């Protein structure tokens, strides 16, 4: 078991975040997309990554599937495991940000408490909460992964929106009404907001 008394992070001799950001000509940030399953988080994240790449800005998409298939493959969906899932994601995001990389995070992260945990780890100045807002009935009608169907039949307990509550952000940095806007319109809204923040060109 690691003890804080035996851990000595050697960050003072490392190349600084400011130097890395200057090299990349971009600012490290975490774009934290929250919303129901099926709201369009991952679709928008992948599209946003391509826009940033085309503009010479380096980013990394983190979403539930690629994280749970790897670093968090040992976690389930209990409340404690959900919290640990978000804690690890936030710690990984913080490392990317310290290198000047932008992470585009797509996680239901259903409670305000769990999102506050992520923000506290990453840092308020580097954490941008983006609410991808789509009504449950729209998300369920998409159901590309069949998750809502499984939840309704009892195969997935505590599924957010069906038998577990989603708490919308009180004051997100940006809200995208993905049921009312097209993918391109949603993407335009995102890029117009983010580019001035992450680019130093």
Considering the four listed CATH numbers 3.40.50.300, 3.40.30.10, 3.40.50.450, 3.30.420.40, the one that applies to the domain covering 15-195 is 3.40.50.300
Q: What angle do CA 115, 121, 125 make, to 5 degrees?
A: 85
Tens of pLDDT, residue by residue over 31-53, are 999 999 999 999 999 999 999 99
Distance, CA of 165 to CA of 54 (rounded, Å) = 38
- Which tokens go with 194? 């983010």
H helix runs in 25-78, sequence order = 41-54, 64-68
> Does the pTM of the predicted model rise above 0.75?
yes
Where do the structural domains in the chain lie, given as residue ranges? 15-195
Q: Packing angle between helix 112-122 and helix 79-98, nearest 10 degrees? A: 30
Q: Which residues are catalytic?
A: 109
Q: Is 38 within 8 Å of 119 (Cβ atoms)?
A: no
Q: Which residue has the higher pLDDT, 78 or 10?
A: 78
């Amino acid at each position: 078991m690691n003890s804080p008394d035996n851990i000595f992070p050697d960050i003072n001799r490392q190349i600084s975040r400011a130097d890395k950001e200057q090299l990349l000509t971009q600012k490290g940030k975490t774009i934290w997309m929250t919303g129901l399953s099926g709201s369009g988080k991952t679709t928008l994240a992948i599209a946003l990554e391509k826009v940033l790449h085309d503009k010479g800005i380096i980013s990394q998409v983190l979403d539930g599937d690629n994280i749970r298939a790897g670093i968090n493959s040992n976690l389930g969906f209990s409340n404690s495991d959900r919290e640990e899932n978000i804690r690890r994601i936030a710690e990984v995001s913080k490392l990317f940000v310290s290198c000047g990389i932008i992470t585009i995070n797509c996680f239901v992260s259903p409670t305000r408490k769990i999102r506050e945990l992520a923000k506290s780890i990453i840092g308020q100045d580097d954490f941008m909460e983006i609410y991808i807002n789509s009504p449950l009935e729209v998300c369920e009608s998409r159901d590309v992964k069949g998750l809502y169907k499984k939840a309704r039949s009892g195969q997935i307990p505590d599924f957010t929106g069906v038998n577990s509550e989603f708490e919308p952000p009180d004051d997100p940095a940006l809200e995208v009404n993905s049921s009312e806007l097209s993918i391109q319109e949603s993407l335009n809204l995102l890029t117009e907001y983010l580019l001035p923040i992450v680019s130093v060109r």
